[in-house]
Amino acid sequence: MTAGMLKATMPPRPTTLAQVLLSERIEKGDRVIDATAGNGYDTVFLADAVGQAGRVLAFDVQSAAIASAEERVKNAGFSDRVEFFQKSHTTLAEHAEPGTISAVMFNLGYLPGEDHGVVTKSSETIVALDAAAGLIRDGGVLSIVCYSGHPGGDDEAGAVEKWMTLLASRGWRVAKYGALGTKRPAPFLLIAAKG
């Protein structure tokens, strides 16, 4: 599966690379979080990865995102393993115990096909990242796809990258992956493994 995913586009898109890297860390029966459900692509990936015994908690503030993600999850046959919350990702810690989550995925920016004025903001994203870091178990992983090409996106991406650098100083292994030499600001992936 992972080799085929990488062959599709080289270099891989940050969203694809995040899924490839997480697929090697998530096991059947795990509990995971999609912090920004959007159109549900990561939600379906996570639901498949955790298997029937696993659980996905999926968050988004927009009703259109929840409806789209729920439909995609239903069509994939994974409705029984996903719980949706139409809430901000700042509320993650209200729905899971510390050290119980094996992976958290963030895909920042705006919901494609909807109002581009509704975007993730660094002030809320940093709160959500702090919560996510506290929920992740040893050996777990955190992935964040940052988009700097929309108003406010560059500031958010910079704040997230600074936050990830601080995470590295606390013993997490942190990396950044992205395209070079693009005409427009390209999305990039930040990923961190705990322990």
What is the arithmetic mean of pLDDT over 77-92?
97
Name the average pLDDT for the chain. 90
Q: Phi and psi dihedrals of 74, rounded to 5?
A: -60, -45
List of residues 6+ apart from 159 with CB closer than 8 A: 122, 125, 126
pLDDT of the residue at 195: 84
pLDDT above 60: residue 5: no
- Comparing 118 with 22, the larger pLDDT belongs to 22
Give Cβ neighbours of residue 112 (< 8 Å, ≥ 6 apart): 38, 39
Q: Give the neighbor-by-neighbor strand order of the sheet with 188-193.
A: 82-85, 55-59, 31-34, 101-107, 136-146, 188-193, 173-178
Query: What domains are there in the chain, each with its CATH number?
Result: 12-193 (3.40.50.150)
Look up residue 75 and give its amino acid: N
Backbone angles phi, psi at 141, to 5 degrees: -140, 150
Q: What is the pLDDT of residue 141?
A: 98
> For residue 84, which amino acid is it?
F
pLDDT of residue 115: 60
Task: Name the nearest CA neighbour of 133 among 86, 88, 177, 166.
Answer: 166
What confidence score (pLDDT) does residue 3 get? 47
**Which residues make Cβ contacts (< 8 Å) with residue 178, sequence separation at least 6?**
14, 186, 187, 188, 189
pLDDT by residue (tens digit) across 19-72? Answer: 999 999 999 999 999 999 999 999 999 999 999 999 999 999 999 999 999 999
Q: Which of 13-17, 132-136, 180-184 has the lowest mean pLDDT?
A: 180-184
d(CA 138, CA 181): 36
pLDDT single digits (tens) 126-165:
999 999 999 999 999 999 999 877 677 788 889 999 999 9
Has residue 82 got a pLDDT over 60?
A: yes
